[in-house]
Chain A
């Protein structure tokens, strides 16, 4: 008779044996004390393993994980905010530069928008005729653009300090 291996005994307790194999084992168990002892010990192990308890994760781990996730999301939102403000600032600075350039070159105290757009039109085929006769004082443009830039910087720092204050508050309350 073939020796019953540990592999077969493991399959026996997992219920993975064919009827033929099952009968073979049951017959062998009737006459083999050593096999019976091996099987019983394996069944005990199987029973005890089913009773294993999980170990509790450290206290407050859920809050720690959620805080990390929320900090990461906030940092992504903050990067987007900074990028948007920077882009707006750059656009404003570029617009201011163009206006100053055209104002100085023409030696007048007025910027004639039609000239700027005809300059752009040479490169980009867009019709700017609707602004051809629109003029504004050079100083006024510089003042408006400078004021907008200052306003942008002011709002940036205002929002930033508000965010920092909110984060501090959250840190104390959680």
Chain B
């Protein structure tokens, strides 16, 4: 059976078949939930934000211009929903630099994270959850949601250079931790 494209589904929803929106929800719910969980570091808040983001997207579906990919437009809504929750809780994301506290926390809990992880991928996954929020978001959007750097910059409302910097810094942090644990040599 032919898989409907995002645009085809949206056109159908806009024609009045509101139930077709469930196809969009099913398609994006896991990825959006992972992004929100990495952002908010809390499962319950991520669930609330996920519902909120899907409802916001539904309500503004008629304003989607179809010039960009639907996923970019949608992740921007998801990101803004998560960001406003963080702002309300006075946990504002630092736009330019990662917080020193977050980095300190990552390094201080690293030994425990490493000891509790079953394999390398589990360790990386657990470490991402502890990365400074903006690094985690950039990594999430690049590797899980398959967004390009220019799309990431659009979603996060930052410059292309900043998007690249966030991704590189996140990767470098993970690499430094791997070197510390001699993981690279073990695997290669």
Interfacial residues, chain A to chain B (CB-CB below 8 A):
6-7, 10, 37-38, 40-42, 44-46, 48-58, 61-62, 64-66, 68-70, 72-73
Pick from B25, B58, B172: contact of A62, CB below 8 A.
B25
Q: How far is the CA of A56 from the CA of B30 in the complex (A)?
A: 5
Q: How many residues of B contact A (CB 8 A)?
A: 41
B residues within 8 A CB of A73?
18
> Shortest Cβ distance from B120 into chain A, in angstroms?
6
CA of A19 to CA of B39, assembled, Å: 38
Ordered nearest first, which 3 A-B pairs have the shortest CB separation? A41-B184, A57-B33, A57-B29
Tell yes or no: B108 within 8 A of A by CB: no
Chain B residue with Cβ nearest A70:
B18
Of all chain A residues, the one with the shortest Cβ separation from B125 is: A52
* CB < 8 Å neighbour of A55 from B21, B33, B187: B33
Q: Is the CB of B25 within 8 A of A38?
A: no
Contact A42 B50 (CB under 8 A): no
Tell me, yes or no, whether B85 is within 8 Å of chain A by CB. no
B95, CB-defined interface residue at 8 Å: no
> A38 touching B58 by the CB < 8 A rule?
no
Residue from the set B26, B172, B183 with the largest chain A CB neighbour count within 10 Å: B172
Which B-chain residue is minimally distant from A41 (CB atoms)? B184
B54 within 8 A of A: yes
Query: In the complex, what's the smallest C-beta–C-beta distance from B68 to chain A, in angstroms?
Result: 22
In the complex the two chains form, is A48's CB within 8 Å of B55's CB?
Answer: no
Q: Is the Cβ of A49 less than 8 Å from the Cβ of B26?
A: no
- Which of B18, B31, B171, B174 is close to A54, meaning CB atoms less than 8 Å apart? B31
Nearest CB on A from B115, distance (A) = 18
Residues of B with C-beta under 8 A to A10:
167-168, 171-172
Contact B174 A45 (CB under 8 A): yes
Q: Are A40 and B172 in contact (CB under 8 A)?
A: no
> Does B175 interact with chain A (Cβ within 8 Å)?
yes
A41 and B179 contacting across the interface, CB-CB below 8 Å: yes
Choose one: B22, B55, B121, B172; the contact of A68 (CB below 8 Å): B55
Contact B26 A62 (CB under 8 A): yes
Q: How far apart are the CA atoms of A45 and B175 in the complex, in Å?
A: 6
In the complex, what's the smallest C-beta–C-beta distance from B152 to chain A, in angstroms?
Answer: 13
Q: Are A61 and B25 in contact (CB under 8 A)?
A: yes
CB <8 Å contact, A65 and B55: yes
